[in-house]
Amino acid sequence: MVATVLRLRYRILANDLSRRPWQLVGFCFGILGAVSALGLLAVGAVVLALTQPEGTGGVITVVGGSALLLGWVIGPLVVAGLDATVDPARLAPFPLTRRDTMLALAAAGVSGVPGLATTLAAVLASLVYLRTPMAAVVAVPMGALAAMTCVVAARLVGSLSSGLGSNRKGREIVGTLVLAVVIMTGPILSGIVALLDRTADLWPRLQAVAAILSWTPLGAAWAVPADVAAGMPLSALARFAVASATLVVLWLVWARSLDAAVTTPVRSTSRAVRPGSLGLFGRFPATPIGATWARSLTAWLRDPRYLRQLIVVPLLPLLLGLTGGVTDSPFIVSSVIVALVLAIATYSDISYDGTAFASVLASGIRGRDDRWGRLLGAASVGVPIVVVLAVLTTQLAGAPERLPATLGASLGLLLAGYAVAAVSSALLVTPVAAPGDSPFKTVPGQTFVSGLLVFVVMAAIFVLALPSLVLAVLSAATGNGAFGWAALAVSLVVGVGGSAAGVAIGGRIFDRGAPELLQRIKAFPTR
């Protein structure tokens, strides 16, 4: 049964690559990158073994192996997502036992490009013990154990992010919380490393960190060969017990979460509404623009796919403050980065409508009204957030004189983003997560070209916001507050004018091509 599932998985992969040439290009680049990294790892391991003192390889492998496990849990989830071809929801209808399902999922993880690269890297790490053959032999099975731990840990996090099979709202909340933790982990670790580097020499600190990690689930498996090389068999056995227990515990917890995910029925998340209550629709004008405004704002306030865009709002200033201090420039301009994130978030917002976009077309709404309503809905959330964040960061940093420039750059990017999105979302439809999906799940239909579209949109935003950005930079460089006030004025004039022009252009495009947009939405696998 497991072999059959794997054959189907590779058949689907082959079909996807044959139909999407750009996805094939990206896949080939991924393989070339993995092969190049493995080659460098092998050369580095041999050089380390032949030129460095005994024990150096053990420290490097423990620290690097711990980072690898964290990378499996964090990096692939954020950058590329879990492989959605083989997941519990798709396997649940078939006569597979829990053991078969787990083996199929684990085998799919190990046999993918990241899994194969990780396994080979773990095996090649044994080359650092060339001068101690026994340790090199022990390093091979321990590397395989570490690689399997990486795969199971990643699968467990993916299962937990789905809310343990509870109702859709529960899955969305748990997935969002896990995403927040994932976003926090990397910068915090970077800050810790930077702090260690400032307080003492790096190598003694690495040795101290490796000594701690070697007794944790992160680095125990990688420390066993080092103990064998150092002639400490009891310590090696103890660390082997920690590494084995880690894999067993992860497997058992994954099994329980998998049971919940495939056996707990999905409960309805509907709620009773008072008779006559229309929510935001009852508070906005009864016009096409007002109805679209209310619908867009409701999505921003209630749809987790939109709310996840807002995670960066509280986390980014916190992370920049922790890593660089509240008086540094990165913390002060965090509102500018937040504005850019919010500006890009709506570049293809019709995609989030899904097939419900048909009801928008059935209403007979004009393109200009749809564009204004969506823009106002996003601005009702984005503009207050950016203004409040700019005020708070400049005040906390003790630099209120930089508020006009910071606010000018932030609003310049945000309003430019809304102007560009008014046009781009009438042209582009991209694959997006379905309602209730885990934020770490790969969205079927994504291609190399669709990934490049984000950079095209970002370039257009920067071009439109360039006048306010240049004035803001001049204000920060010269200390002249007049440039800051000019940046704020230019951002408002160019942003509002650009938004009006974007609505006019996007409205005409919408009127001509909206039915085609709906057909493209229906063609996505998630629909």
Predicted confidence pLDDT, tens digits, the chain (527 residues): 777 777 877 787 787 777 777 667 777 877 888 788 888 888 888 887 777 777 777 788 888 888 888 878 765 455 444 555 666 666 767 777 777 778 888 887 788 777 888 888 888 888 888 888 888 888 889 988 998 998 888 888 777 665 444 455 555 555 555 555 555 555 555 555 555 555 446 677 777 778 888 888 888 888 888 888 888 889 889 999 999 999 999 998 888 877 766 555 444 445 555 545 567 877 888 899 999 999 989 888 887 777 777 776 777 777 776 666 656 667 778 888 889 888 888 888 888 888 888 888 888 899 999 999 999 999 999 999 999 988 988 888 888 888 899 999 999 999 999 999 999 988 888 877 666 555 555 565 566 666 678 889 999 999 999 999 999 999 988 888 899 999 999 999 999 999 999 999 999 999 998 888 888 888 765 44
Residues 7 and 64 in one domain: yes
73 found inside a domain:
yes
Cβ neighbours of 429 (radius 10 Å): 22
Residues 79 and 194 in one domain: yes
Residues 237 and 341 in one domain: no
Residues 70 and 191 in one domain: yes
Residues 434 and 475 in one domain: yes
Residues 251 and 328 in one domain: no
430 found inside a domain:
yes
Query: Tokens 């310590």 identify what position?
Result: 235
Q: Which helix (H) or strand (E) holds 12?
A: helix 2-19
Residues 161 and 305 in one domain: no
Cβ neighbours of 271 (radius 10 Å): 6
Q: What are the C-alpha distances in Å from 341 to residues 122, 181, 509?
A: 37, 18, 25
Query: Tokens 């921003």 identify what position?
Result: 300
277 found inside a domain:
no
Query: Distance between CA atoms of 258 and 247, rounded to whole angstroms?
Result: 16
278 found inside a domain:
no
Residues 165 and 20 in one domain: yes
276 found inside a domain:
no
Which tokens in the block code for residue 497?
A: 């004018």
Q: 293-319 burial by CB neighbour count: b if 16+ within 10 A, else e? A: bbbbbebbeeebbbbbbbbbbebbbeb
244 found inside a domain:
yes
279 found inside a domain:
no
Backbone angles phi, psi at 30, to 5 degrees: -60, -45
Residues 59 and 107 in one domain: yes
How many domains are there within the chain?
2
Query: Distance between CA atoms of 211 and 239, rounded to whole angstroms?
Result: 12
> According to DSSP H, which parts of 270-333 are helical?
288-302, 304-307, 312-324, 329-332
Residues 16 and 128 in one domain: yes
Find the domain containing 375 and state its range. 284-522
Which tokens in the block code for residue 74?
A: 């964090």
270 found inside a domain:
no
Q: 220-230 burial by CB neighbour count: b if 16+ within 10 A, else e? A: bbbbbbbbbbb
Cβ neighbours of 102 (radius 10 Å): 19
Q: 159-193 burial by CB neighbour count: b if 16+ within 10 A, else e? A: bbbbbbbbbbbbbbebbbebbbebbbeebeeeeee
Q: What are the C-alpha distances in Å from 222 to residues 64, 157, 309?
A: 9, 22, 37
Residues 163 and 226 in one domain: yes
Residues 9 and 76 in one domain: yes
